[in-house]
Amino acid sequence: MADLDDIQDMTENKKKKRGSAKNFPTAPSVSELNLEWGMANRLSRIIKPESGRTVMLAVDHGYFQGAAKGLEELDRTVGPLLPHADALMPTRGGLRYNITPFSNTPIVLRASGGNSILGELSDEDIAVSMEDAIRLNASAVAISVYIGAEHQHRTLMALTKLVDEGMRYGIPVLAVTAVGKNLGKGAKYLSLASRICAEMGAQFVKTYYCEGFETVVRNCPVPIVMAGGKRVPEPDALKLTSNAIKRGAAGVDMGRNIFQAADPVAMIQAVKAVVHQDYSPRKALTMYEDLKADNKRKTKRRRK
């Protein structure tokens, strides 16, 4: 067994994977992962080959939070956003009961659960069979992994089981890291958590933005999508997105910062401009304000 003292401080790992401006790494492309055909095809429905990036809309909060603010009526929230999202991340109940099947937006299906905000968050396991994920035509499945928490071992073993099943059917697995109050949110912890998930076989990883995010990207051999987190003012959310993209994120998996925004449809379009077209936060904010004003005018006209 490796001596714990030998575990290197990953924030000091200066090895460069891919160069870009300011020596920030760039996200590995889907083709670089050498995946089998079906898996590569599914993953490239989510991470767009033209930009190597994605804007995933996370609406899976209900699996442990119940009716989260903004998702009380999932269909009404998701409906107008769906055409703008590169992928949607719902639970299977949320999908079946609220989302039209006549949409081309790929689904990243939340496949873990068993916990709630009233108990220990890491008390989670696989909660959807691969058979049902395939029945729902999921392009990928998502599972939370709680590194350093009470149920670390179980959630890591659940990840490996899901990866094995995904390999059997060509379904990529998204490992969601660092959800939980008492877990670290710094580069050292996020590097450790993301790298472990990739080593255990996840084809892509969702984690938070942090100071030194480029190190997290450098230390992870698979694409990382930035988790949105708690709602912040729109200018801050756009800045966060831009910072993550510059430092090598393959996009975002964002929920509250989109559907709780003053104008969610304008917000998802502004986030997309940052992610796919490298808009600066300022330019994206102008776009957001213009779209918001436009939408307001249209609603007023409709009411007349």
Give the interface with ligand R5P as residue ranges (CB under 6 A).
58, 60-61, 144, 176, 179, 227-229, 254-257
Asked about 206 being catalytic, the answer comes back as yes
Q: Closest separation between CB of residue 156 and ligand R5P, Å?
A: 16
Q: Choose among 31, 87, 89, 27: nearest CA to 55.
A: 87
Pick 40 or 240: Cβ nearer ligand R5P: 240
List the Cα angle 157/203/105 in 5-degree steps: 115
Pick 26 or 263: Cβ nearer ligand R5P: 263
Pick 30 or 108: Cβ nearer ligand R5P: 108
How many of the other CB atoms lie within 10 Å of CB of 41?
Answer: 14
Quick check: 88 and 59 in contact, CB under 8 A?
yes
The separation between CA 255 and the C-alpha centre of its own chain, rounded to angstroms, equals 9
Pick 259 or 279: Cβ nearer ligand R5P: 259
Quick check: 115 and 149 in contact, CB under 8 A?
no
Q: Measuring CA to CA, how many Å separate 55 from each of 27, 81, 119, 249? A: 14, 11, 31, 11
Q: Closest separation between CB of residue 176 and ligand R5P, Å?
A: 5
Pick 61 or 218: Cβ nearer ligand R5P: 61
How many of the other CB atoms lie within 10 Å of CB of 145?
Answer: 28
For 117-157, give the secondary structure using H, E and C: CCCCCCCCEECCCHHHHHHCCCCEEEEEECCCCCCHHHHHH
Q: Measuring CA to CA, how many Å separate 205 from each of 58, 195, 208, 220, 225? A: 14, 9, 10, 9, 6
Helix (H) or strand (E) holding 206: strand 204-207
d(CA 170, CA 31): 15
The separation between CA 290 and the C-alpha centre of its own chain, rounded to angstroms, equals 27
Q: Closest separation between CB of residue 175 and ligand R5P, Å?
A: 11
Catalytic residue chosen out of the listed positions 14, 22, 48, 206? 206
Q: Closest separation between CB of residue 258 and ligand R5P, Å?
A: 8
Q: Closest separation between CB of residue 17 and ligand R5P, Å?
A: 26
Q: Closest separation between CB of residue 244 and ligand R5P, Å?
A: 12
> Which regions of 30-139 does DSSP assign to beta strands (E)?
54-58, 87-89, 108-110, 112-113, 125-126
Pick 26 or 144: Cβ nearer ligand R5P: 144
Q: Which residues are catalytic?
A: 206
